[in-house]
Amino acid sequence: MYQYDYLIVGAGLYGAVMAHELHKKGKHCLVIDRRDHIAGNIYCEEIEGIHVHKYGAHIFHTSNQKVWEYINQFAEFNNYINSPIAVYKDELYNLPFNMNTFSKMWGIRTPGEAKEMIAKQVAECQITEPKNLEEQALSLGGRDVYEKLIKGYTEKQWGRDCKELPAFIIKRLPFRFTYDNNYFNDRYQGIPIGGYNGIIEKMLEGVEVRTGVDFFEFRKEQADIAEKIIFTGMIDEYFEYRLGALEYRSVRFETEVLDCDNYQGNAVVNYTEREVPYTRIIEHKHFEFGQQPHTIITKEYPQSYQIGGEPYYPINNEKNMKTIKQYKEKSIYYSNVLFGGRLAQYAYLDMDDTIEAALYLAKKELNS
């Protein structure tokens, strides 16, 4: 006789949605997490009245009305609009690439002038079959956009020269020929008032949760504690790396409290020069329009991932795609283990994608 219907490994967004949906239908769930807190990478740490996005900025955005209505059960969202800024040397540009960007870069005013300038620069590059990311970006946007806003940032993110990166990483450049700094095209967008922790706490109401628990140690002693396992960790780690280790990029966060009320005037500022070691600075108070007399910033430093570190971004090259395919094929034979979430699927998932995927699996489970 099992003690629980489900052991859910990971108290992040995916695990919490699964636990909530299964618990509602009377399933007995135990949620464990290796970290000493719930909420996974959307965890917010409150420091001096400011909600700090501990694992990088998370802005909720979606065009899926059902997902938007679902998440709004658990929190009220503010009207924050993500409008990042890029700094290149002593120049400052609006993102995404839009008419404000082009006007600043070339001293022009109309969409026609912007399109003409881009077409002229693309033609000058004379690239018909891009062999790498650099050639791909030049063939799509020309030299100015590439040199000032793409090259350095991308090289820091991936830890490699753009000439060494595959062309398929950039399929298109999201040019907008309107004066619109809203980074996302989605219908719904915002930050939960009070941070993300409250959402996960509400999802997990009535569910037993244990933090600071390593699944791989736990299962040695409690192998038969639940009828099924929902695993949201790294799929290669689950299988003890038998088919090889999947590759990731990681990020180091450097957070500091500053004795000023407003450091950069925007929540997200990207630094696009290769020589600046961090990719961006987050000023957390601006996510919730804070009026505190001090501020908190976080610098993000991309770095290579080592086993035992924090995996963030999957590296979608041929080698890793082959390896994850093999792991997914292997997982089919483990009928009592369900794999879900960004690490178990080896995919970059936005929060709305994560919720949609968890709701789909929960419904499938409950109907089986």
300 carries an active-site annotation: yes
Kindly write down the DSSP assignment for every residue of 245-292, as one continuous string: PPPEEEEEEEEEEESSS-SSSSSEEEE--TTSS-SEEEEGGGGGT---
Q: What is the pLDDT of residue 320?
A: 96
Q: Residue ranges per domain, the chain?
A: 4-76+190-247+314-366, 98-169
Whether 113 has a pLDDT exceeding 90, the answer reads: yes
* Mean pLDDT on 13-34: 98
Q: What is the pLDDT of residue 1?
A: 84
Q: Which listed residue (155, 247, 283, 300) is catalytic?
A: 300
Q: What is the pLDDT of residue 368?
A: 82
Q: Which listed residue (113, 147, 310, 350) is catalytic?
A: 350
Beta-bridge mates of residue 269: 85, 281
Of 118, 129, 222, 120, which is closest to residue 177 (Cα–Cα)?
118
34 carries an active-site annotation: no
CATH superfamily of 4-76+190-247+314-366: NAD(P)-binding Rossmann-like Domain (3.40.50.720)
Whether 340 has a pLDDT exceeding 90, the answer reads: yes
76 carries an active-site annotation: no
Q: Which listed residue (34, 143, 219, 249) is catalytic?
A: 249
Taking the C-alpha atoms of residue 123 and residue 296, their distance in angstroms, rounded to an integer, is 45
DSSP state for residue 74 in the 8-state scheme: T
Q: Which two tokens stand for residue 151?
A: 């090259």
176 carries an active-site annotation: yes
Whether 296 has a pLDDT exceeding 90, the answer reads: yes
Whether 240 has a pLDDT exceeding 90, the answer reads: yes
Q: What is the pLDDT of residue 93?
A: 98
* Mean pLDDT on 197-201: 98
210 carries an active-site annotation: no
Cβ neighbors of 62 (< 8 A, separation 6 or more) are: 68, 186, 187, 188, 189, 350, 351, 352
Q: What is the pLDDT of residue 316?
A: 86
249 carries an active-site annotation: yes
Q: Which listed residue (172, 221, 275, 333) is catalytic?
A: 172
pLDDT digits (tens, 9 = 90+) for 262-288: 999 999 999 999 999 999 999 999 999
* Mean pLDDT on 6-15: 98
Of 103-107, 165-169, 204-208, 299-303, where does mean pLDDT reach its minimum? 165-169
Q: What is the pLDDT of residue 154?
A: 97
Classify the phi-psi angles of 68: left when phi > 0, otherwise alpha if psi is within -120 to 50, otherwise beta. alpha
254 carries an active-site annotation: no
Q: Which listed residue (4, 93, 146, 176) is catalytic?
A: 176
